[in-house]
């Protein structure tokens, strides 16, 4: 008598995560692998203004803080004066804008060495102010300082539960802008995708 086949039940969430991982792996496979460019000539000024005004007096940073926060109240100049923010890098819940940073997921200096060095000033400015892709994320000041200009081969979010989202977001940004990855960076991203 034949034994019944093993039935594997998958939840919609698990299926979505495996689909997300597969899509991220395919996108990563399409990225060019190369050695990093020289940092020579880099400065944040090359991405200026990296907080442009969008709506009236509201800068990109202020719009990101309003988007990512809860109960955000702004003054007449659009600056947040009250609100709550969650930092996915380290799990901190923050009640003051003074403790919050808007991080460039792919750091500006890292983007420079991945191909942004060859971009026009307008493209660099668009990259630094991109609210459409997951390039701008609200995090704790301490997590942003710890990350600095590092890539995933040398820095990862403190919360392992965020590694999948971090890696897929990193790949999304790099793919959209045609930035390349290094071998070590690609390996680190693949390792992080295993947590999806």
* Residue 2: per-residue pLDDT: 45
Please provide the average confidence, as pLDDT, over all residues in the chain: 91
In whole angstroms, what is the distance from residue 51 CA to residue 131 CA? 11
- Asked if the model's pLDDT at residue 5 lies above 50, the reply is no
Nearest-10 crossing angle of helices 183-193, 12-30:
170
Residue 14 binned pLDDT confidence (cut-offs 50, 70, 90): low
Cα dihedral sign for 67, 142, 196, 106?
Answer: positive
In whole angstroms, what is the distance from residue 1 CA to residue 90 CA? 54
Triad 38, 117, 33: Cα angle to 5°: 70
Peptide bond into 108 cis (omega under 30): no
* Residue 22: per-residue pLDDT: 92
118-153: per-residue pLDDT in tens? Answer: 999 999 999 999 999 999 999 999 999 999 999 999
In whole angstroms, what is the distance from residue 33 CA to residue 133 CA? 22
Quick one: what percent of the chain has pLDDT higher than 70? 91
């Amino acid at each position: 008598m034949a034994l019944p086949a093993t039935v594997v039940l998958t939840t919609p969430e698990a299926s979505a995560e495996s689909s997300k991982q597969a899509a991220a792996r395919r996108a990563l496979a399409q990225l060019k692998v190369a050695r990093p460019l020289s940092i020579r000539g880099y400065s944040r000024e090359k991405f200026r203004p990296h907080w442009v005004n969008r709506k009236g007096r509201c800068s990109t940073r202020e719009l990101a803080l309003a988007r990512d926060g809860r109960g955000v109240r702004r003054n007449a100049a659009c600056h947040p004066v009250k609100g709550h923010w969650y930092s996915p890098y380290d799990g901190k819940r923050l009640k003051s804008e003074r403790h919050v940073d808007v991080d460039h997921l792919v750091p500006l200096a890292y983007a420079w060495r991945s191909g942004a060095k060859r971009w026009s000033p307008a493209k660099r400015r668009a990259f630094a102010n991109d609210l459409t892709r997951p390039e701008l994320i609200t995090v704790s000041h301490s997590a942003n300082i710890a990350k600095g200009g590092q890539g995933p081969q040398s820095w990862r979010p403190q919360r392992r539960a965020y590694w999948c989202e971090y890696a897929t977001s990193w790949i999304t940004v790099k793919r959209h802008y045609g930035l390349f990855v290094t071998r070590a960076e690609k390996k680190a991203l693949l390792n992080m995708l295993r947590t999806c």
